[in-house]
Structure 1
Amino acid sequence: MNALPLRSAPAAPEALPGAPVEEPPALAVAGARVPRLRVLIAGDTYPPDVNGAAHFTHRLATGLAARGGQVHVVCASPEGPARTETGDGVVVHRMRSAPLLVHPTMRVSLPAGLGRALAGLIARVRPQVVHVQGHFVVGRAAVRAARAAGLPVVATNHFMPDNLFQFGRVPARLRGRAGDLAWRDLIRVFARADHVTTPTRIAAGLLRDKGLACDVEAVSCGIDLERFRPQPRPWAREWALRRFGLPDRPTVLFVGRLDEEKRLEDLVLALPHVLNHVDAQAVIAGTGGRRAGLERLAARVGVGDRVRFLGFVPDDELPRVYAAADVFAMPGVAELQSIATLEAMASGLPVVAADAMALPHLVAGNGRLYRPGDVQAMARHLTTVLTSDGLRAEMSAVSLAMAAGHDHRRSLARFEEIYRELAAEQ
């Protein structure tokens, strides 16, 4: 997943707060004048970072801007120095950052001076609402600054402690305790928000179970159903196979980060059992710290020539990746929604997924669930789907019907409603 290129702007508001922005003109909606929304979205990750939270934040910001909103984003700088840039109608304020020592690619905003910078930015932009995308450095500083300015706060959770265990090198025996501490920290920050959302009902229930006393609304991250849709066969599949240099075989696809919680070892270990019944291949699109280990594992179990790693695939080419596949596999155990699974469903693919976290929310008649780690069950389900044209067609129809309820325009409209309701209460 990748963002469109951004153009640098000369002034950085954290250094030069400047004058308040001019009040934007109102929009004409059904003959009425509706004031444009001014929203500040704050998060610790944003493109060029490649992860679900960054992808969602970018799509939310650009989607709101396309609907007429005045949108500012504050996030960590990907290089270090602070700067301000614009693109797709969004003003992005990148704060000073340093490498995150426990992560190979991510950077973290420096806490020193961040509160002052955010206070200056809020005074200049004068947002009607602040929407934070997490509870880490930028998110918690934005909550404090918004509260000091008397602004309403929306908080959306994309976090699971499992996402950090690999990079923090937390021993298995300590993960339960470390997870409890991480949840407690998140709850302290999110308890100060006026409205809390998360992508699914299962994820909302998890927050309540972890001690968040306020109501939590499930608002899907949403996907662009105009981009992700079934492609005409057979030519679209043939073109996609040629584009990515793939043999014409029954294809199991995974799209996402190649990190520990994605449990891609399960897919590699299941493939030899699938090959006992069907001449298949597994295609893995994405980057991450587990690739070398996965390549070694595939070679060790004798499927090195049947596991194809595509590496990073630009966002504009993702629909073609799905067109090359016959079934989508999601073995991850820390998915609060799984945008990639939704994209696969919208592309008409059946799904074989781990029965973990929010994935059961996406699998009902359109695929099969298996107990995490049960590679034999995963292999059986993949084999069943790959060897039955009729079953794949039935599952494809259900995937399309389920994905239709996750149109990103519906999600954008709901967030606009939340913003206006909170702004009206001030």
Structure 2
Amino acid sequence: MFVENRLRHLVASGAAESTVLAPVPWFPGRTPPRAVVPAEERRHGLTVHHPRFLAPPGIGMYSNPLALHGAARRALRRLVAAGAGFDAIDAHYLYPDGVAAVWLGREFGLPVAITARGSDTSQLPHHAVPGRLIRGAIAGADALIAVSAALAEGLVALGAPAGKVTVLRNGVDLSLFRPVADRDAIRAELGLAGPVLLSVGLLIERKRHHLTIEALRELPGHTLLIAGEGPERAALLALAERLGVAGQLRLLGAQPHARLPELYGAADAMVLASSREGWANVLLESMACGTPVVASPAWGSREAVTAPEAGLVLDEATPAAIAAGIRRLLAAPPARAATRAYAERFGWDETTEGQLALFRRLLGWAP
């Protein structure tokens, strides 16, 4: 969603056009049919192509760059043969997408910019084959974008020249994410009373929802809503039962993006316990809705949360630290209007101008 939002705002500037190649991993019997993810679609005025690439279970980490490259290469050849012309490749995630993008750039004679976003810089480089290919993509890319200054430092540590890296943070859609008109009505509709906490993210290990659930033992009377779906759902429910906090937990499942402002509005605080985040968009979304945050010290958190009205960043992410941070924040919560005003500094305009400047520089075009 945040990749799409950045591109939407870039194209809305009127200074750039884009065609999207978003290859979809596929393996017989394990992935959705084309009726779920079509070969081509239109989203927000953008044409999005979804070529399939084979992703065998268990070895996808190693086979995906080659397979993704092959699918994208065939699709790009068809587009060029049909008369499409491109000036540059804008790739997201170093691996496997950025690796494939650099190979495409060499073949088609196009400059390549890759945006690094988190685990592609902090985790995957520790694996032998992905690490070697990631370092090759860093060397082969014409420009690198980091969504936070901390992530930029991670790129430099992987061998990127500092002058090759541009920091362009993610923004927030201030028209969608805004304070709700009647907060009490939404809380009543959801049957909420007392302090309400919200976490938003996939139910996967990296999001560490289990830490926030464990923190509920020290937060009697608090309700935790988790918006997201994933493989850890059963384990999280079992944990809550074992700890005796199941009555304080609601797993809401995957939620439409347009529904999130109501959930942020109903909450008194948004909790992010992730172990790794390049730039956590949920922090900005929550603050734009007037809801302060309690965030783990993941990459980007201290850059997004820099004032008391935004919330606070923990020194460590443990159940005790999360509970203490929540108690501290809710003991003297900032005015919701002040939290919203803080978030208004993080619209997309600055990021869009930064993108345009970078691509003009790559192409040797005057502004």
Q: Please tell me the TM-score bracket, short chain as reference.
A: 0.7 to 0.9
Give, in whole Å, the separation in 1 of the partners of 2:135 and 2:341. 35
Alignment of 1:220 with 2:160, yes or no, is no
Give, in whole Å, the separation in 1 of the partners of 2:161 and 2:153. 11
Match of residue 2, structure 2, among 50, 56, 60? 56
Alignment correspondent of 2:343: 403
User: Partner amino acid for 1:212?
Assistant: A
- C-alpha spacing 1:103/1:291, structure 2 compared with 1 (3 Å): farther
Give, in whole Å, the separation in 2 of the partners of 1:70 and 1:177. 36
Alignment of 1:261 with 2:202, yes or no, is no
Structural RMSD (CA): 2.9
Alignment of 1:292 with 2:238, yes or no, is no
Alignment of 1:153 with 2:99, yes or no, is no
Matched position secondary structure for 1:71 = coil
Q: CA deviation at 1:89?
A: 1.6
Alignment of 1:367 with 2:325, yes or no, is no
Give, in whole Å, the separation in 2 of the partners of 1:218 and 1:100. 35
User: Partner amino acid for 1:121?
Assistant: L
Alignment correspondent of 2:361: 421
Match of residue 152, structure 2, among 192, 198, 204? 204
Deviations for 1:36-59, whole angstroms, at most 9, x for unmatched residues? xxxxxxxxxxxxxxxxxxx12211
Q: Is the deviation greater in 182-191 or in 313-322?
A: 182-191
Deviations for 1:135-159, whole angstroms, at most 9, x for unmatched residues? 3344323322223333221110124
Matched position secondary structure for 1:70 = coil
Alignment correspondent of 2:323: 379
Give, in whole Å, the separation in 2 of the partners of 1:161 and 1:70. 27
| Contact kept in structure 1, 2:23 and 2:72, CA below 8 Å | no
Alignment correspondent of 2:29: none
Deviations for 1:331-352, whole angstroms, at most 9, x for unmatched residues? 0010111001111111122211
Give, in whole Å, the separation in 2 of the partners of 1:248 and 1:207. 45
User: Partner amino acid for 2:119?
Assistant: M
Q: CA deviation at 1:319?
A: 0.8
Alignment correspondent of 1:32: none
Map residues 264-283 of structure 1 onto 2, 5 A cutoff: 264-275=209-220, 279-283=221-225
Match of residue 236, structure 1, among 180, 183, 190? 183
| Contact kept in structure 2, 1:65 and 1:88, CA below 8 Å | no
| Contact kept in structure 1, 2:173 and 2:348, CA below 8 Å | yes
Give, in whole Å, the separation in 2 of the partners of 1:188 and 1:286. 34
| Contact kept in structure 2, 1:254 and 1:283, CA below 8 Å | yes
- C-alpha spacing 1:261/1:138, structure 2 compared with 1 (3 Å): closer
Alignment correspondent of 1:34: none
| Contact kept in structure 1, 2:122 and 2:154, CA below 8 Å | no
- C-alpha spacing 1:333/1:138, structure 2 compared with 1 (3 Å): closer
Give, in whole Å, the separation in 2 of the partners of 1:412 and 1:118. 25
Match of residue 267, structure 2, among 316, 325, 331? 325
Map residues 77-92 of structure 1 onto 2, 5 A cutoff: 77=24, 79=32, 83-92=39-48
Larger helix fraction of residues = 2
Task: Please give the TM-score of this superposition, normalised by the length of structure 1.
Answer: 0.74
Give, in whole Å, the separation in 2 of the partners of 1:393 and 1:111. 48
User: Partner amino acid for 1:393?
Assistant: P
Deviations for 1:231-283, whole angstroms, at most 9, x for unmatched residues? 34xx23422551xx3422210110111110111111011011011xxx21111
- C-alpha spacing 1:410/1:103, structure 2 compared with 1 (3 Å): farther
Matched position secondary structure for 1:131 = strand
Alignment correspondent of 2:28: none
Give, in whole Å, the separation in 1 of the partners of 2:85 and 2:297. 44
Equivalent residues, number: 348
Alignment correspondent of 2:49: 93
Provide structure 2 residue ranges, at least 5 long, that are not aligned to the other structure. 26-31
Alignment of 1:307 with 2:282, yes or no, is no
Matched position secondary structure for 2:219 = helix
Alignment correspondent of 2:89: 130
> Identity of counterpart residues, as a percentage?
27
Give, in whole Å, the separation in 2 of the partners of 1:208 and 1:241. 49
Alignment correspondent of 1:51: none
Match of residue 66, structure 1, among 12, 19, 34? 12
Alignment of 1:76 with 2:23, yes or no, is yes
Give, in whole Å, the separation in 2 of the partners of 1:374 and 1:341. 19
Give, in whole Å, the separation in 2 of the partners of 1:66 and 1:264. 36
Deviations for 1:168-207, whole angstroms, at most 9, x for unmatched residues? xxxxxxxx943x7644432211222222111111111111
Task: Please give the TM-score of this superposition, normalised by the length of structure 2.
Answer: 0.85
- C-alpha spacing 1:404/1:191, structure 2 compared with 1 (3 Å): farther
Q: CA deviation at 1:408?
A: 1.6
Deviations for 1:80-117, whole angstroms, at most 9, x for unmatched residues? 6683332322111211233562599xx96555454344
User: Partner amino acid for 1:115?
Assistant: R
| Contact kept in structure 2, 1:252 and 1:325, CA below 8 Å | yes
Provide structure 1 residue ranges, at least 5 long, that are not aligned to the other structure. 1-54, 166-175
Alignment correspondent of 1:185: 133
